[in-house]
Every structure is written in C-alpha cells, then in structure tokens.
Amino acid sequence: MWDLIIKNGRVLTMESEKEVNKAILIKDGLIADIVENSIAEKLDARKVIDAQGLVVMPGIIDCHTHLCEYATQGVHKTVGKSQKMAAVSNFLDCLKSGVTTLGEHILGHPILSTSIQELKEVACDTALTVKFATGTCCVGTEPLAYTSSLRPGESLTADDFDDAHYAGLAVESEFPGENIFITATVANLPPHLVPNGGKAILDKEDVSRIVNIFHSLGKKIGAHIEGAENVQLFLDANGDVIHHGHGATSQQYHEMARKNVYLVATPHGGTSSSPNTPEEIYKALEAGVTTAITTDAYLPVHPEAVGMEGIKVVGPADLFKICKPTFEYLRDRGVSKVDCLKMITINAAKIMELDAEIGRISPLKKADIILCKGIPVFDFTDTDSVVMVIKDGVVEIDKS
C-alpha cells in the first residue's frame, strides 16, 4: 500500500518545460514513481489527493535567510528565551508560503545569546528542512562592529578572528552561506548609521587564507560581497558561492561559470550597492552561472530595487513578489518558466548541496511538494494560492 497518491494534477517535475498530467506515488517520505492516472486509480493508498486543476511542483527553497537571529529580534522584539519561539513562528510562515527548505544564516547577534546548537535543535523539531551556515559578520558602523555565530551575544572586533576561529566556523557550517563578509554590511540599519556599509574589510591575503582553511576541512565557503573589485578577490581565492555580488561585471559572470562559482542573488537589496537587476541576473544565467534568488528575510527593500514599490521589508511570504520582475524580464527574452523556477528550486538545492535529495519531482527524491492554483510568480504572487504543502510525504499545510 502506498502512503500517499497525488493524482490528476498538472505536474511540473522541473526535468522538462512541459506539465504532465500524471499521478505521484509516495512511500516512506520519498517519491517512488510517477505513473498514469489510470494506473493510480487501481492502487491502494492511505491517503489520496485529487489535484484536479492544480499545479503540482517541488517545494520552494529559500537558500539565504536570517530567521533565527535578526528577524526574531527585529520583527518579534525578542531578547531572551522567546527567541526560539519567534524562530519557530518564522519557520511556520515559510511553510505556509510553500517553502519546504531553508538555508539559514547564523552570524551571531550582540544581544541574543542562543547558541547555534540550540537553534539547530529548534529547527530539527519543525517540519522544515533547515540547513545552517555559520559565519562572522561586520556591520558598517563607525567604528566597525563584528559578530560571530561561535560567540552569540557578544560584540567583537577584527582581532577576535584568528585561523582557529575560522576553522571552528567551517566545522559548524552546513552549506556555503555568508561564512565571511568581504565587505561591511548595512544590515537592517538606516544608512546614516552605517557610513562604512560596503567598505572592504578583508584583503587578498585574508580571503585566500580563510578560503584555504575551509577547503582544507572539506567545506565549501560562501561570502557576502558587493563591488566588482571585492568579487574578484573571492574569485581569485577560488571561493565557492557569492551572496549578493552587487556590482559584478559580465566578465566576472563568465569567470564564475568557468570556475563553477554559484550566485545567490538578492534583487531587493542586502548591501549598500544597487541590488541585482533583472538584466544582471539574465547575464549571469546566460554566462552559465548557477543562480538562485532568495529573500534574505527579513530585509528592507533597497530604494533602487526594480519593481518592488510598496514593499518595505521582505519576509518569507514575499519570495514570489521578489522574483516577479526578474522572471518577467527573463520570459521576455525566451527563458522558459521552468528555467526561471529553477532559481527557487533546483539551483537553490545545488547551492545548499542538497540537489541529490530535493528540487525535482522524480523517483527517490524527497516528497517535498506543493499544490498551487497556477504557476507561482507567473500566475500569482500571493501565498494564499499555495493550497497544500507536503513535506517528506506528509501533508503539513492544507488550505483547500
């Protein structure tokens, strides 16, 4: 007997540009097979979902978020044990929005002292898959302010980060996120409070040394970067994943493709520079760069962000709205809808090193599936149109 059968849906497997009207057989949390609906009608299952008229596709992957630290304090105003409660609330918002996998960044917080181990335990108790990237952070205040996921609740200086500290970050990190900041961030602060936003804080030797530490421990490394000169430092050091990359050049996109360096684009902001435009993201894809789009939630929208008027701060429910200007631009240039959606499914899974498990609807992949009233971004941006969310073969959200 099958655990779950989803039949009669418009299935987007992400393997093809075409929808297929077939049934999905699920057993032990995995997709076992995709068969004709006529065959599924003859099979027994503990639960059968008739997805007539609905799009059935892989769960959404948001590979760059800050929902356990900065959002818990900035959005929910938590300062104590309630931090963990606020994190769970943020996770639930993700799941309701169709997001089944998160790439969560833990960078330390000067007033929140919950350890990375505790936050990992909290995530394990939720229905989501949450992978954590650990790192140091530099905020562009005067003087510069530093934090680290290894020393939460402390205000640090650059002198606190020696090779042993970076090795500790590498050991704890589960995927290449913002493990290091090559440029200081504006964070969620008003511009007048972060006059050093965008300032380079690591030089060529620093970046090369830290990248080598991660690689020597068998870990890939990602970095928060803005500005072409700083992007080049990371490329020259053989880094792995660029987060933001605002200001990267066409030549650098081609170099990224040659070196298999991935890009996590944030077209709504995240640095002091103008964010990734639809045109820039198109150039990255055309060059062959594996690119994902993410929320960086919660994050204020940059005043120069394209097509996001009326949105002040982006959260888990805003990913489709963030994607819309870029997806429309790509479609006008002949990019298929499925290739657009790969930036929040397959490509994001690759960045998180989870593409063997998720991102597609195919046999032996995890049964992380959403049922929607149309194709996300193209037919809707409101998350109420995500009718059902299935995680590991279990229905977790049902709005039908």
Q: Give the architecture (CATH level 2) of 2-58+360-398.
A: Roll (2.30)
Region 172-188: mean pLDDT is 96
Exposure of 304 by Cβ count < 10 A (0-12 exposed, 13-18 middle, 19+ buried)?
exposed
Q: CB-side exposure of 149: number of CA atoms within 13 Å?
A: 32
Can you tell me the mean pLDDT for 323-330? 98
DSSP secondary structure of 181-199: ESB-B-TTS-GGG-TTTT-
How do residues 309-318 score in pLDDT, each as one tens digit? 889 999 999 9
Residue 340's pLDDT band, with cuts at 50, 70 and 90, is very high
Six token digits for residue 371: 């049922």
Mean pLDDT of the chain: 97
| % of the chain beyond a pLDDT of 70 | 100
- CATH architecture type of domain 60-351: Alpha-Beta Barrel (3.20)
Rounded to two decimals, the pTM is: 0.97
List, for residues 270-299, the tens digit of each pLDDT value.
Answer: 999 999 999 999 999 999 999 999 999 998
For residue 237, the model assigns a pLDDT of 98
Of residues 366 and 16, more confidence is placed in 366
Q: Is the pLDDT of residue 190 over 90?
A: no
Q: What is the mean pLDDT of residues 174-193?
A: 94
CA–CA gap between residue 257 and residue 280 (Å, rounded): 14
Mean pLDDT of 233-254: 98
- Checking if the pLDDT of 187 tops 90, the result is no
Say which amino acid occupies 12: L
List, in order, residues 6 or more apart from 265 with CB less than 8 Å away: 244, 245, 276, 280, 281, 284, 291, 292, 293, 294, 326, 343
Residue-wise pLDDT tens digits, 46-61: 999 999 999 999 999 9
- Domain residue spans of the chain: 2-58+360-398, 60-351
User: Cβ atoms within 10 A of the Cβ of 309, count?
Assistant: 8
Q: From CA 217, how far away is CA 237, in angstroms rounded? A: 16
Distance set, CA 366 to CA 23, 33, 100, 273, 354 (Å):
16, 12, 11, 38, 11
Instruction: At 211, list the tokens.
Output: 């990248």
Average pLDDT over residues 169-196: 95
Residue 336 has pLDDT above 90, yes or no: yes
Strand partners, 45: 2
Q: Kindly tell me if the per-residue pLDDT of 16 is higher than 90.
A: no
pLDDT of residue 137: 97
* Residue 116: pLDDT over 90: yes
Per-residue pLDDT band for 130 (boundaries 50, 70, 90) equals: very high
The residues near 107 (Cβ < 8 Å, ≥ 6 apart) are: 66, 69, 134, 135, 136, 137, 147, 148, 149, 178
Q: Which of 249, 332, 322 is nearest to 292 (CA)?
A: 322
> Residue 104: which pLDDT band, with cuts at 50, 70 and 90?
very high
Give the whole-angstrom CA distance, residue 320 versus residue 328: 12
Return the pLDDT at 154. Answer: 96
Question: What pLDDT, on the 0 to 100 scale, is given for residue 200?
Answer: 97
Using an 8 Å Cβ cutoff, are 172 and 150 in contact?
yes
Q: Binning pLDDT at 50, 70 and 90, where does residue 189 land?
A: confident
The per-residue pLDDT for range 48-101, each reduced to its tens digit, is 999 999 999 999 999 999 999 999 999 999 998 899 999 999 999 999 999 999
Residue in 374, 296, 391, 365 with CA at minimum distance from that of residue 96: 391
DSSP-H helix ranges across 68-162: 70-74, 82-96, 116-124
Q: Would the pLDDT of 380 be above 90?
A: yes
Using CA atoms, how far residue 92 sits from 125, 233, 276, 320, in Å, is: 12, 38, 28, 17
Span of 128-142, 161-175, 184-198 with lowest mean pLDDT: 184-198
Burial class (CB in 10 A: 0-12, 13-18, 19+), 159: exposed
SS3 content of the chain, % helix, strand, coil (to 5): 30, 25, 40
Residue 17 has pLDDT above 90, yes or no: no
Question: Residue 170 has what pLDDT?
Answer: 98
Please answer whether residues 66 and 298 qualify as being in contact, where contact means their C-beta atoms are separated by less than 8 angstroms.
yes
